[in-house]
Amino acid sequence: MYGWGKQGHIITCKIAENFLTKDALASVKALLPGSAEGELASVCSWPDEIRRSAHNRWSGPLHYIDTPDFRYNYQYC
């Protein structure tokens, strides 16, 4: 439950940005709110932050995928 945290999300976003094409990164940055100042990593922990409020509690299960401990990969069906 505490394995990622805000810093883990920031690191993951920074790594993910390197896998985006130049055009894709520009499109993502265009969708960011002004408060993000063009930094995807500044909004990466947003799902964690909103799912704790009563109004957005429904979004919690959308934020993660449970897999058994003995599985080392995930196959979306």
pLDDT digits (tens, 9 = 90+) for 38-58: 999 999 888 888 888 889 888
Please, are residues 14 and 23 in contact by the beta-carbon 8 Å criterion?
no
What 3-state DSSP class applies to 52? coil
Please, are residues 9 and 48 in contact by the beta-carbon 8 Å criterion?
yes
Long-range CB contacts (within 8 A, 24+) of 12-17 = 12/44, 13/40, 13/41, 13/44, 14/41, 16/40, 17/41
The answer to whether the pTM exceeds 0.85 is: no
Q: Quickly state the pLDDT bin for 21 (edges 50, 70, 90).
A: very high
Average pLDDT, rounded, for the chain = 84
The mean pLDDT value for 53-71 works out to 81
CA distance 59 to 51: 6
Q: What is the pLDDT of residue 15?
A: 92
